[in-house]
A = this chain, B = another copy of it.
Amino acid sequence: MLRLSKLTDYAIVVLARLGQANAAGRVTAVPELALASGLAEPTVAKVLKILAQAGLVEGLRGARGGYRLSRTLECIPLSDVITAFEGPIALTACVDGAAGGCESEGCCPVRGRWDPVNRAIRDALAGVTVAQLANTPPARQCAAAVLNF
């Protein structure tokens, strides 16, 4: 439905919470984040693992461990979060170089013409930071194109 998956949605919320806590220099663990976000612990854990694999957060193992932001929320564009959970941002499967996937590739009247559209969506999502989505008070701004908020 042109909707983000729930995990992606959760990720934004979790990142927002992490931003609040980490701004105070603290490291936050899963139980605390789950409580603050109103989500189930296993779900939050799953979200954080994916965020860690994408390099958006840093996991600190061992007792007194937890998670920490790799960059400030101002430096995390929405497109990065979405890509981590949903893969490359493209409205159709037949993106640029993807050949062979479509059976009617030869006669498709829209072949190759989705690329500008996908680029527009990507640009729009790259122009919004997680900080703008969270209620984060304006901290130091990143060098990023900013959407007309």
Contact = CB atoms under 8 A, between A and B. Distances in A.
Contact of A113 (B20, B82, B107, B132): B132
How many copies altogether?
2
Chain A binding surface SS class: loop
Contact of A1 (B5, B9, B128): B5
A2 B86 contact: yes
A66 B22 CA distance: 62
Interface of A: 1-5, 9, 12-13, 16-17, 20, 37-39, 78, 82, 86-87, 89-93, 103-104, 107-110, 113-114, 116-117, 120-121, 124-125, 127-128, 132-135, 147-149
Q: Which 7 A-B pairs have the closest CB atoms?
A: A38-B104, A16-B109, A120-B124, A110-B133, A1-B86, A4-B91, A113-B133
